[in-house]
Every structure is written in structure tokens, then in C-alpha cells.
Amino acid sequence: MLPIDTSLPSDLWNLDEPLAHYWIDPDIAQDPYLMKLTTRFARWHDGQGNQYNTSIQTPVNAADDLITTVEDYCRLGLNVMNGAGLSDSLYADMVFPQVSIKADYYRCLGWGLVKNLPDGEYALEHGGSDIGVQTMAVQGSTNKTTEK
């Protein structure tokens, strides 16, 4: 684990300068807090006000702390949508509902499954989180089935 270094000489970058001075994302252009968005790293705290330890995970671990780009994560999702190069039987095993979580939502082998979408479609989802970070990828229906 590498500690995150949030120090930077003030003559190189003003961490409190609004990012809007350089670029404004159209999705937040009208947000009243737009000018408060800076590059200063906010530290996470628990309910008692104690700061969490923050680190960057760099070791390879198939079960945790995926380090990737948005582009590569999207490529993974597209690959899964197209069958992931698996046989029909193996793909069916991967997306077969193992545990019902709630109506029309199940856990499969590494994936969440949302069934009974319009036109008989379904979606696969996969996500993860660490302190201050959450991700979720959702892949729409493919020509593959969730039935064995």
C-alpha cells in the first residue's frame, strides 16, 4: 500500500482554486456548489469525526481493488455482453441465479442479475467499493440466456 501524499508546493498548484476556472462539466454547470469543487483531496471521516486511513492499493488481487481505466472496464463489460468467449454452457453457469436478493434481482457467479426488464430483457451488474469510492457497471441483455 502506498500512502496518498496530498502535499504540493503552493507555487505549483492552488489546491483550493475552483476547477471551473479550467473546465466545467455540462452535467454540473448549474450546480450551486460548482465553484466549491477543487482539487484538494477530501479525507474521509467516520461518524465520530475520526479520519480513516487512506491508501492506494497496488498489488494484484483478483478478488479486490481492481486498478483499471474506465475504457478498459467498459471493454470488459462489452466482452461479457458478447459471451466473454465462453461456451454457451459455461456462460449459462456464470449468469444463472444462485441467490434471490429481492424481486427480480439475483446474485450469480460474480455478477448481479436483474430480470424481467421490458421485452424480456435482463441486465448484469458488477460493482465494488472502498472508503469513499463506489463503482457499478451494468451490461444490458445479450443473445445469451440466464436459463440452464
The predicted-structure confidence for 109-136, as pLDDT tens digits, reads as follows: 888 999 988 888 889 998 877 766 677 8
The predicted-structure confidence for 41-53, as pLDDT tens digits, reads as follows: 566 667 777 777 7
Which residue did the predictor score with more confidence, 103 or 13?
103
In 3D space, the residue among 137, 64, 63, 102 whose CA is nearest the CA of residue 55 turns out to be 64
CB 124 within 8 A of CB 76: no
Which whole number is the average pLDDT over 96-104?
Answer: 94
Amino acid at 93: D
Which whole number is the average pLDDT over 32-38?
Answer: 84
Q: Looking at residue 135, what is its pLDDT?
A: 78
For residue 60, pLDDT over 80 is answered with no
pLDDT above 90 coverage of the chain, percent: 14
74 grid coordinates: 467498459
For residue 10, pLDDT over 60 is answered with no
Quote the pTM value: 0.54
Determine which of 71-80, 87-96, 112-121, 129-138 has the lowest per-residue pLDDT on average: 129-138
Domain boundaries, the chain: 1-56, 70-139
Q: Which residues of 119-142 are buried (b: 16+ CB within 10 A; e: fewer)?
A: eeebbbebeeeeeeeeeebebeeb
